[in-house]
Each structure stands twice: as structure tokens, then as C-alpha cells.
């Protein structure tokens, strides 16, 4: 997992990696995003104290772009450590509350980051999202992670006589559209859908759904915090 935290706004971006070799491409994407948004490149990158150093190709890229980089001094490491701890604690708590197995930790982590960007930080009345985007976030669309969601099935994906909605579990927010990431409880398919109705008082049923599977490949959500305490 690769986390970028803007030093001014505390806005964070998360990239879920399958291999360390992806660090370079994700770093370049982030630099490109910042440059397009603010018409200037990031001034510097600081690695959190205790994390792995930048891969050599990433160091070469930053030097080529004229961007300073290094490891944060121990006394300056609080921001990185707090952000990581908050993300892990929120993700573990959401999985436990939703009674979802540990294999859904990537969805919980991404949702935790989405929420953290909309929560106030010390020293300012504005939230990271507002400082980063210049406008207040819309809060009306926030929903309880893991709740039951009745998602609309587009006409192109169903027969005219088929049901218009499917029973899903809510797993997060779409990046660019006013939709939600959900998983079909019958098929296990992940998709982005508009949702007609959330039943936030109910947990997703495990019996007779894809959640009723062997837990051999799963882990306890609280194990996310095993190396934090």
C-alpha cells in the first residue's frame, strides 16, 4: 500500500499495490495529477521514518523532475504515522462493525481514506478535501460501510422482465461518479452502481450468499493492527 499525504491540506491518496515495482508508476501518476491540478509539480517528497526507501527508478525520476526527496526526521514523522494509524484503525473497526471478513480490507482502507479526507484536522476549521479542492465536500451521500444496498441494474445489463434491482453490500465510493462500489451477494461480482435504497440497520446476510464461504484465506480484521500495538 502506497500513501501520499499532502503536507498543507493533509489530503491523502492511497494506491493499493500488488508488487513493489508499481511504486514508480504510481508516483509518476501522482506527480502528474498534482501538476495538472495546480500547474506546478510537488516541491519535495518525504518518506515516513521507518518505511522502505524509494526504489532506484523512482529516485531517478524525482531527480529528473527536479523534486527533492528524502526520509523525514523522527520528530517530523508524526503526520505519516498518524495517518497510517488512523487508516488502519478505521478500516479494522469498519470490518468488525460490518461483520465482513478480512479479505475486504482494501475496500475498508479506501473508504477510510475517503472519510478521513472529509474530517477536520487539528489547527484548521476546514477539512482536507476543502483545502485540496477549494470547495466543501458533499456529505449527504455518506453511508454505513457494509450495509445492505439495493442497487439499480442498467437496462443494458438485464432482460425487460428481469428485476430492476439487485441485493448488494456497500463497499465504498466511486472515484468520479455519484455512484457506489457494491458487491452482488448472489454472484460476488464487484461493480459501480447507483443505489436506490440503503438498509443501514441491517448487515448483509451471509447464509446463502458468497459471504458464506470458507474462511481459510481470510484473516481477522483486528490483525491489521497487530504491528501497531
66 and 10 co-located in one domain: yes
Q: Is residue 66 part of a domain?
A: yes
For residue 101, give the CATH number of its domain: 3.30.420.10
Could you give the C-alpha distances from 59 to 6, 131, 163, 226, in angstroms and in order? 19, 28, 53, 31
Same domain for 59 and 9, yes or no, is: yes
Query: Would 219 be classed as within a structural domain?
Result: no
pTM confidence score = 0.85
CA 97, 226, 181, 147: dihedral to nearest 10 degrees?
-10
Domain count within the chain: 2
Helix (H, G, I), strand (E, B) or coil at 167: strand
Residue 86 sits in the same domain as residue 122: yes
pLDDT tens, position by position, 175-220: 767 789 999 998 899 999 899 889 988 877 777 777 876 454 565 5
Mean pLDDT, rounded, for 98-108: 92
User: Going by DSSP bridges, is the β-strand pair 147-152/195-203 parallel, antiparallel, or unpaired?
Assistant: antiparallel
Q: Report yes or no on 36 lying in a domain.
A: yes
Domain check: are 158 and 123 in the same one? Answer: no
What is the model's pLDDT at position 75? 52
The C-alpha R_g of the chain, in whole angstroms, comes to 20
Q: What is the dihedral of CA 210, 215, 216, 218, to 10 degrees?
A: 90
Tell me, what's the pLDDT at 66? Answer: 92
> Looking at 133, 167, 195, which one is the last position of a domain?
133
Q: Are 88 and 225 in contact, with CB atoms under 8 Å apart?
A: yes
Same domain for 8 and 80? yes
187 domain residue, yes or no = yes
Are residues 112 and 156 both part of a single domain?
no
Helices (H) and strands (E) in the chain, counts: 5, 9
105 lies in the same domain as 158: no
Q: Which domain holds residue 174?
A: 147-203
Which residues share a beta bridge with 182? 170, 191
Decide: 114 and 173 in contact? Cβ < 8 Å. Answer: yes
pLDDT at position 50, please? Answer: 56
Residue ending a domain, among 72, 101, 133, is: 133
The answer on 171 and 90 residing in a single domain is: no
Shared domain for 125 and 161, answered yes or no, is no
Do 28 and 115 reside in the same domain of the chain? yes
DSSP secondary structure letter of residue 22: G
Residue 140 lies in a domain: no
Q: What is the pLDDT of residues 130-155, one digit of tens each?
A: 999 999 998 988 999 999 999 998 88
Lookup result for grid cell 476546514: 126
Report the pLDDT value the prediction gives residue 108, as an integer from 0 to 100. Answer: 96
Q: Are strands 44-47 and 68-71 parallel, antiparallel or unpaired?
A: parallel
For 9, phi then psi, to 5°, come to -90, -20
Are residues 105 and 10 both part of a single domain? yes
Do 96 and 35 share a structural domain?
Answer: yes
Amino acid at each position: 500500500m502506497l500513501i501520499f499525504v499532502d503536507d498543507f491540506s493533509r489530503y491523502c491518496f492511497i494506491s493499493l499495490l500488488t508488487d513493489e515495482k508499481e511504486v514508480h508508476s504510481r508516483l509518476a501518476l501522482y506527480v502528474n495529477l498534482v501538476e495538472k491540478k495546480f500547474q506546478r509539480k510537488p516541491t519535495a517528497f518525504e518518506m515516513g521514518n521507518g518505511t522502505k526507501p524509494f526504489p532506484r527508478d523512482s529516485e531517478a525520476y524525482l531527480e529528473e523532475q527536479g523534486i527533492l526527496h528524502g526520509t523525514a526526521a523522527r520528530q517530523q514523522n508524526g503526520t505519516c504515522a498518524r495517518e497510517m494509524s488512523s487508516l488502519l484503525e478505521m478500516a479494522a473497526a469498519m470490518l468488525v462493525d460490518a461483520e465482513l471478513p478480512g479479505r475486504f480490507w482494501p475496500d475498508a482502507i479506501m473508504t477510510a481514506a475517503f472519510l478521513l479526507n472529509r474530517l477536520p484536522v487539528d489547527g484548521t476549521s476546514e477539512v482536507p478535501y476543502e483545502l485540496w479542492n477549494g470547495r466543501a465536500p458533499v456529505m449527504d451521500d455518506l453511508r454505513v460501510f457494509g450495509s445492505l444496498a439495493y442497487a439499480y441494474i442498467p437496462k443494458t445489463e438485464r432482460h425487460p422482465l428481469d428485476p430492476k434491482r439487485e441485493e448488494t453490500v456497500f463497499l465504498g465510493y466511486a472515484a468520479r461518479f455519484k455512484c457506489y462500489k457494491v458487491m452482488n451477494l448472489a454472484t460476488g461480482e464487484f461493480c459501480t452502481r447507483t443505489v436506490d435504497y440503503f438498509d443501514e440497520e441491517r448487515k448483509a446476510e451471509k447464509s446463502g450468499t458468497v459471504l458464506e464461504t470458507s474462511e481459510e484465506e481470510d484473516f481477522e480484521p483486528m490483525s491489521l493492527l497487530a504491528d501497531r500495538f
